[in-house]
Amino acid sequence: MSENNPFPGENNTGHIWDDNLRELLNEPPGWWRIGFHASWICVVLYTIWYPSWPLIDGHFKGVSGWTSIGEYKEDLSAIEEIRAPYEAKLQGMSAAAILADDELSSYVSASAKVLFGDNCAACHGSGGQGGPNFPVLADDDWLYGGSIDAIQASISNGRQGMMTAHGKTLSSDEVDSLAQSIVDGNVTGNALYMGKACFACHGADGKGMAALGSANLTDSIYRFAGDQLESVKYTISHGVNDPSDAETRNAVMPKFGDKLSETDIKKLAVYVRKMGGGQ
């Protein structure tokens, strides 16, 4: 084949394709060879220094003794050392006292963000903006009161209010009339409001009662999703957590007193209170 090589002296293999395409035998440049040998040397050193090769009874742990878990524990220990003095103070203080302390309040705002994300954001949104059928926490409208103590009680004990379904006691026209009055912000001006004893839970002024967790009907803030008018009609007809109505709205906040520590609950109470402004 070399006898028929049309490119003699070029140091090619003698294989020619498409008249002039050929494979050369030139050695790679020196810098490339140095880099190649340096790379496998680095690989060998790496596998000696760090955990690497599998063994019958485990794996080679490396001369450095490094592990990712060990590094994690060291970093966590350093963070906990920084947090320790703040956490010690929080344990002996009430949520109200923490809120009043600027330094601790700022610490809680930073440290409770993860707590909120892990335990509250799924329902209330990462910024407290609420979600379908879940209350907004980033405003000043509170069903059970927005004081720091009331918020702490809600987190610790959970909430499960109840509104009676009125679909069987009110006609469709009466339901429509009440719903329209609520959407218009003039529920107390509707004779049905007082005549059907709605005021017993929502108050004579329609602003709700924190003791019962009854909603303020005058502020145009709607917890349940969907068209406002139709949503209000549905709530009046089927109630909330009413066991006598199969189509009642379900609105239950679980209690976290058994899941979170007292300090964590105080942190969340302060975090939520600062998020919405409280009362």
Determine whether 235 is exposed, middle or buried from the number of CB atoms within 10 Å of its CB (0-12, 13-18, 19+).
Answer: buried
Annotated binding site: 120, 123-124, 163, 198, 201-202, 253
User: Rounded to whole angstroms, what are the CA distances from 200 to 124, 163, 243?
Assistant: 29, 11, 20
- Whole-angstrom distance, CA of residue 146 vs CA of residue 148: 6
Check: CB of residue 16 under 8 Å from CB of residue 29.
no
Annotated binding site for heme c: 120, 123-124, 163, 198, 201-202, 253
Helix spans in the chain (H): 30-49, 68-91, 95-100, 102-119, 121-124, 148-157, 172-183, 191-195, 199-202, 228-238, 262-276
Instruction: Choose among 134, 157, 140: nearest CA to 223.
Output: 134
